[in-house]
A and B are shown apart, each in its own frame.
Chain A
């Protein structure tokens, strides 16, 4: 191989990093190297081996000049004002670079072997579509994740909106009223509180669960044992004598923090008054949390330690999901199985037919089948993900609608107040 042969050379300019200026000259390509000589001085400014290239890119410098960059090890070479045209140079350079990898010393011999058969062509096509579908799947997954994030944000907004709603109600009650809104409502509440013994309330409203707890009120260190009763309409905290200490209606609860799997705090916020909050500790709490989570899904907040718990609890569900999925695919596979011999036969037939026209070898057919199988799997997965995203989108839409309505309503109420 004669290394001095110039395959091609183009007039262009090169960016000198040391002087921060563009130098015009000629870029020339030999079978193994790229060289750049400056016009004025005739100096050889760039000279490197083709195999040292790690990237060739079309870029623009300062967003104006279209230029070509070649990354060699850690240095980036900028070439600009390429003539006749950047794309030509790019294609030629890339071609010779790749040839470094692909070319053989014993050239010519494999020219015949290079003749691609029909089968190979098909494989190429399928492989290409598989690649594209893989990329699509990646993007879809990313999108799904974003939808999930949006949902989380919306839930938070809704939770906050509930709090705002309650606070607004409180503000709206006339300030000259000697009883605060809480007391205003109290008579309604007090009646059942006084009269309703535990057994009574048990009959009246569905008790979901009752667990023994240790209660801490607000921040005082006075810890006392008691019971937490989860009702359909709220939650009730009572002491060990079944005397009700406090009762939260569902809408009064502003947030529930899960500190650890065994400890939660329930809080109701007031304007101009300290919050009512109870911290509850119980060994049975893990049983109650899922119910709380269902009732107050938007207000419940898992703190760090509890997150692991929540995650741990979720994973069996996920497992369940996947196992169902696996069962489903197994089923699908089963459905597919009886088909496949037919398909196989069909393919064989086709193969025989094709063989008379052009040759598809056994191994190629096998490979094709494999890729097709993968394609099918990918397509199924994509469909499932798309359906999931569709549902997510629906709930996002309704949630946004609700939020907008709420905001409008609250705005009106605030305007009335001011």
Chain B
């Protein structure tokens, strides 16, 4: 009941705001106090948007925020405009993902213009998440994550940049763009290797890079493994490295049972996550593909 009332009120406010905007266009008004009228309209749009939010009419709320943002732009207050665009994006996210992305992109443009790259990067991540979850366009999600990583790097926030890059790598590997994934994992691995706090996770990145190598070509994986051990001696001791060696051996002998046994042993100690399962399955398939292929 209440929400319906709010919605009606919001619609009225919208109409009122529109009138104000039109009023400010007339010549005389334009000369005297046109801006204050625009400011009033802005405020009304925002209030209307908030009421739409209460009424859960997301796309109307998004639209109202958008209008407010455009008016802020006319009033030359960039920061307010960007904030309104972000609000619009958040409202649209629940109803119209594509429109949400447009709004967030507009906000990003403003933020980059102002040199606020950290915030821009954050919104790039939001967009990437929308692509990931709602629109299932992984390629575009990757592009946005990459952009975010670039901005973060420019602002010296390396660990945020790494976080984005790792996402990119995971998706790239899923899409079978192994070369890209390898490059990122190696880069992140070498970056974190020297940090006292992060060096313990470096082995994970090298492990993933080596796995990607493995899918492409066994020999490369061997070479890569040697290289990583040389670069990062602690890698040799890790369970990941031992597993890789066992897997390589099994693969060389085309012994899918030994392969499975090794994987199983690893899994019994620390459960494999979905990404690893996918990658290991792909390697296993390549063994069976050459073998009898009785799982086909």
Determine if B223 is an interface residue (Cβ-Cβ < 8 Å): no
Q: For A101, what are the chain B residues with a Cβ–Cβ distance below 8 Å?
A: 260, 263, 272, 277, 280-281, 284
B158 partner, pick from A59, A63, A128, A145, beta carbons under 8 A = A145
Does B159 lie within 8 Å of A53, measured CB to CB? no
Determine if A177 is an interface residue (Cβ-Cβ < 8 Å): no
Does A138 lie within 8 Å of B160, measured CB to CB? no
Does B160 lie within 8 Å of A105, measured CB to CB? no
Determine if A220 is an interface residue (Cβ-Cβ < 8 Å): no
Does B198 lie within 8 Å of A141, measured CB to CB? yes
Q: Of residues 172 to 205 in B, which have CB atoms within 8 Å of A's CB atoms? A: 174-175, 195-198, 200-201, 204
Closest to B283 in A: A101
Binary interface encoding of chain A residues 1-40 relative to chain B, with 1 for a CB under 8 A from any of its CBs, else 0: 1000000000000000000000000000000100000000
Closest to A55 in B: B274
Does A124 lie within 8 Å of B268, measured CB to CB? yes
Determine if B270 is an interface residue (Cβ-Cβ < 8 Å): yes
Q: For A102, what are the chain B residues with a Cβ–Cβ distance below 8 Å?
A: 260, 263-264, 267
Given contacts A102-B264, A102-B267, A370-B237, contact A141 B195 (CB under 8 A): yes
- Bound CA–CA A149/B157 (angstroms): 8
B197 partner, pick from A149, A367, A385, beta carbons under 8 A = A385
Of B138, B204, B295, most buried by chain A (CB within 10 Å of CB) is B295
A381 partner, pick from B94, B196, B237, B260, beta carbons under 8 A = B196
Does A127 lie within 8 Å of B200, measured CB to CB? no
Binary interface encoding of chain B residues 259-275 relative to chain A, with 1 for a CB under 8 A from any of its CBs, else 0: 01101100111101011
Given contacts A55-B278, A106-B257, contact A128 B196 (CB under 8 A): no
A377 partner, pick from B200, B257, B264, B295, beta carbons under 8 A = B200
Determine if B163 is an interface residue (Cβ-Cβ < 8 Å): yes
Does B138 lie within 8 Å of A137, measured CB to CB? no
A-B contact count (CB 8 A): 104
Does B269 lie within 8 Å of A123, measured CB to CB? yes
Q: For A137, what are the chain B residues with a Cβ–Cβ distance below 8 Å?
A: 197-198, 200-201
Q: For B15, what are the chain A residues with a Cβ–Cβ distance below 8 Å?
A: none
Determine if A204 is an interface residue (Cβ-Cβ < 8 Å): no
Write the nearest CB–CB distance from B120 to chain A, whole angstroms. 15
Size bracket, chain A contacts: 35 or more
Closest to B267 in A: A102
Determine if A100 is an interface residue (Cβ-Cβ < 8 Å): yes
Write the nearest CB–CB distance from A176 to chain B, whole angstroms. 34
Q: For B133, what are the chain A residues with a Cβ–Cβ distance below 8 Å?
A: 59
Does A98 lie within 8 Å of B277, measured CB to CB? yes
Determine if B239 is an interface residue (Cβ-Cβ < 8 Å): yes
Determine if A402 is an interface residue (Cβ-Cβ < 8 Å): no
- Bound CA–CA A97/B281 (angstroms): 9
Determine if A398 is an interface residue (Cβ-Cβ < 8 Å): no
Does A74 lie within 8 Å of B138, measured CB to CB? yes
Given contacts A51-B295, A138-B159, A145-B160, contact A98 B272 (CB under 8 A): yes
Q: For B200, what are the chain A residues with a Cβ–Cβ distance below 8 Å?
A: 130, 133-134, 137, 374, 377-378
Size bracket, chain B contacts: 35 or more
Does B159 lie within 8 Å of A145, measured CB to CB? yes
Does B174 lie within 8 Å of A54, measured CB to CB? yes
Write the nearest CB–CB distance from B90 to chain A, whole angstroms. 13
- Bound CA–CA A338/B261 (angstroms): 39
Determine if A163 is an interface residue (Cβ-Cβ < 8 Å): no
Closest to B175 in A: A74
Write the nearest CB–CB distance from B200 to chain A, whole angstroms. 5
Determine if A194 is an interface residue (Cβ-Cβ < 8 Å): no
- Bound CA–CA A59/B134 (angstroms): 10
Binary interface encoding of chain B residues 235-274 relative to chain A, with 1 for a CB under 8 A from any of its CBs, else 0: 0010100000000000000001100110110011110101
Does A382 lie within 8 Å of B197, measured CB to CB? yes
Does B201 lie within 8 Å of A138, measured CB to CB? yes
Closest to A113 in B: B261
Binary interface encoding of chain A residues 88-121 relative to chain B, with 1 for a CB under 8 A from any of its CBs, else 0: 0000000001101111111000100010100010
- Bound CA–CA A198/B281 (angstroms): 80
Does A381 lie within 8 Å of B285, measured CB to CB? no
Closest to B269 in A: A124
Write the nearest CB–CB distance from A120 to chain B, whole angstroms. 7
Determine if A76 is an interface residue (Cβ-Cβ < 8 Å): yes
- Bound CA–CA A131/B204 (angstroms): 10
Q: For A374, what are the chain B residues with a Cβ–Cβ distance below 8 Å?
A: 200
Write the nearest CB–CB distance from A66 to chain B, whole angstroms. 14
Write the nearest CB–CB distance from B18 to chain A, whole angstroms. 30
Determine if B136 is an interface residue (Cβ-Cβ < 8 Å): yes
Binary interface encoding of chain A residues 276-316 relative to chain B, with 1 for a CB under 8 A from any of its CBs, else 0: 00000000000000000000000000000000000000000
Determine if B294 is an interface residue (Cβ-Cβ < 8 Å): yes
Closest to A136 in B: B197
- Bound CA–CA A103/B295 (angstroms): 11
Q: For B261, what are the chain A residues with a Cβ–Cβ distance below 8 Å?
A: 104, 110
Does A56 lie within 8 Å of B274, measured CB to CB? yes
Q: For B272, what are the chain A residues with a Cβ–Cβ distance below 8 Å?
A: 98, 101
Determine if A400 is an interface residue (Cβ-Cβ < 8 Å): no
Determine if A393 is an interface residue (Cβ-Cβ < 8 Å): no
Can you name 16 A-B residue pairings with CB atoms under 8 Å?
A32-B295, A51-B295, A54-B278, A100-B295, A101-B263, A102-B264, A104-B261, A105-B256, A105-B294, A116-B268, A127-B239, A137-B200, A145-B158, A149-B118, A149-B157, A374-B200
4 closest A-B pairs (Cβ-Cβ)?
Answer: A142-B159, A54-B278, A76-B136, A124-B269
Additional pairs, 9, CB under 8 Å, beyond known A101-B272, A127-B269: A1-B295, A54-B274, A98-B267, A98-B272, A104-B257, A134-B200, A137-B197, A138-B159, A146-B157
Which B residues lie at the A interface, using CB under 8 A? 94, 118, 133, 136, 138, 155, 157-160, 163, 174-175, 195-198, 200-201, 204, 237, 239, 256-257, 260-261, 263-264, 267-270, 272, 274-275, 277-278, 280-281, 284-285, 294-295
